[in-house]
Amino acid sequence: MSTKNWPLWEVFVRSKNGLEHRHCGSLHAADEEMALENARDVYTRRSEGVSIWVVESKHITASNPENNGEMFEPAQDKVYRHPTFYDLPDEVKHM
Amino acid sequence: MSEEQVKNLEEQFEARIARDEKIEPKDWMPEKYRKTHIRQMSQHAHSEIVGMLPEGNWITRAPSLRRKVALLAKVQDEAGHGLYLYSATETLGISREEMYEQLHTGKAKYSSIFNYPTITWADMGAIGWLVDGAAIINQVPLCNTSYGPYARAMIRVCKEESFHQRQGYEIMIKLANGTPEQKEMAQDALNRWWWPSLMMLGPTDAESIHTAQSMKWKLKRKSNDDLRQQFIDQTVPQAELIGLTIPDPDLKWNEERQSYDFGEIDWDEFWQVVKGHGPMNKERMKARVNAWENGAWVRDAAMAHAEKKQDRKEKKAV
């Protein structure tokens, strides 16, 4: 009987050059080579990609939604980071 | 957490869903939400995996290369759909092994339609046309469901599924326009798959225990009876178009409702199959368990190989 289970990998696919890799799901595989091959068969059966990244899930550090307040709220009151914060005379059409 | 705090969180949670916000894996969620989703999503994944068996039965006997590549691609898609759904379910904190265990011990269910045998080539046509047709009707609303990973998996699934139904209907067209024997074979397949396909859309609303809660969580957007009516209304003209007869003497267009009236469904049969007494329940489970157990040495060998490779890499680095 199996003693060790295949680890989980996250799959990122670039759909065409010029676009970023995008997370599209995960899968189990024994090693990185198999993860890449499985990712091709599971996530790009209809030419959805020109490049694949696989990362073992345990290597991803993620923010915790419970801390979203202190993590993301500081950006909310910094409206001066957006162009719409600044007043311009109506005559200036493009800036 | 105090009861009050949980209640508070639950209210916020329900409000988020009501606002059409998506729930993501690390968000707080009520235990019942998690459990219901694990149950439904894993059942859905199991159905894709077990669903490969009735069709796999005909791959080597497909009547032409065109039919063979199509069937092979369809079955491969089903494996893919099972995998998208398993990994989406894992985000809720259940492991792949636990899900397999639940399937193999009969604790988890899968769609009971796959407990019927595929005895002729026409069954490949009927399955694609009717079973995938009913599945699409069930699945399209799920692309909007509240749990992010499930909704994303369903978008992929739905995109890929429409070829499944077309390839099935094409098989039926060809047979229905063929020799009298071929046409008879198509009609026979329709006769056998029609009622189980209607049952596939679930028990009548009066009997469906999960509907109210599932509607609230957007796991369901239309009731089983509404989905069934939609399936019948869309399928009857497709049968007529190719000269096949729906095996229901009570089927009649209702001018007032602008819908078809249809005969009584044999729900006893449905519950018998759900409880494990369908024609192929034992066979399907045996095939799954064998595949899992006989594959154990391959999984172990792959793992051992991966570890050896890693060791070698580390030694080289020293």
Flag whether pLDDT at B310 surpasses 60. yes
Least confident of A13-22, B3-12, B117-126, B230-239: B3-12
User: Using CA atoms, how far apart are residues A81 and B159, in angstroms rounded to an integer?
Assistant: 40
State the count of interchain CB pairs (< 8 A) between A and B: 58
Taking an 8 Å cut-off on Cβ atoms, the answer to whether A26 and B90 are in contact is yes
Taking an 8 Å cut-off on Cβ atoms, the answer to whether B27 and A64 are in contact is no
Taking an 8 Å cut-off on Cβ atoms, the answer to whether B76 and A45 are in contact is yes
User: Using CA atoms, how far apart are residues A29 and A17, in angstroms rounded to an integer?
Assistant: 27
- Please tell me the distance in Å from A42's CA to the nearest CA on chain B: 5
Flag whether pLDDT at A3 surpasses 70. no
Q: Are strands A51-56 and B259-261 parallel, antiparallel or unpaired?
A: unpaired
C-alpha closest to that of B106 among B250, B238, B286, B266? B286
**Residues of chain B neighbouring A41 (CB-CB closer than 8 A):** 76, 80
Q: Report the predicted TM-score, pTM, of the whole model to 2 decimal places.
A: 0.93
Question: Cα–Cα distances in Å, from B265 out to A8, A36, B123, B189?
Answer: 43, 47, 21, 18
Taking an 8 Å cut-off on Cβ atoms, the answer to whether A30 and B96 are in contact is no
Taking an 8 Å cut-off on Cβ atoms, the answer to whether B303 and A8 are in contact is no
Q: Does A60 touch chain B (CB under 8 A)?
A: no
What letter does residue B273 receive in the DSSP assignment? I
Question: Cα–Cα distances in Å, from B118 out to B114, B121, B285?
Answer: 9, 8, 16
Flag whether pLDDT at B318 surpasses 80. no
- What ipTM was estimated for this complex? 0.90
- H or E element at residue B186: helix B180-200
Could you tell me the residue ranges of all domains in chain A?
A: 8-92
Instruction: State the burial class of residue B309 (Cβ atoms within 10 Å of its Cβ: 0-12, 13-18, 19+).
Output: middle
Tell me the average pLDDT across B109-136.
97
The pLDDT assigned to A1 comes to: 46
pLDDT in tens, B153-193: 999 999 999 899 999 999 999 999 999 999 999 999 999 99
Tokens 């497909």 appear where? B62
Taking an 8 Å cut-off on Cβ atoms, the answer to whether A30 and B302 are in contact is yes
DSSP state letters, B73-134: HHHHHHHHHHHHHHHHHHTTT--HHHHHHHHHTTSS---GGGGS---STHHHHHIIIIIHHH
Identify residues of B whose CB sits under 8 angstroms from chain A CBs: 24, 26-28, 73, 76-77, 80, 83-84, 87-88, 90, 95-97, 152-153, 156, 160, 296, 299-300, 302-303, 305-306, 309-310
Flag whether pLDDT at B1 surpasses 80. no
pLDDT in tens, A18-76: 999 999 999 999 999 999 999 999 999 999 999 999 999 999 999 999 999 999 998 98
Point out the residue among B73, B95, B306 whose CB comes nearest to the CB of A31.
B306
Percentage of residues in chain B with pLDDT exceeding 90? Answer: 89
Interface test with A, best of B41, B75, B83 (most A CBs within 10 A): B83
Which residue type sits at B192? Answer: R
**Residues of chain B neighbouring A67 (CB-CB closer than 8 A):** none
- Please tell me the distance in Å from B197's CA to the nearest CA on chain A: 28
The pLDDT assigned to B207 comes to: 82
Q: Which fold has domain A8-92?
A: Ubiquitin-like (UB roll) (3.10.20)
Mean pLDDT of chain B: 95
Flag whether pLDDT at A2 surpasses 70. no
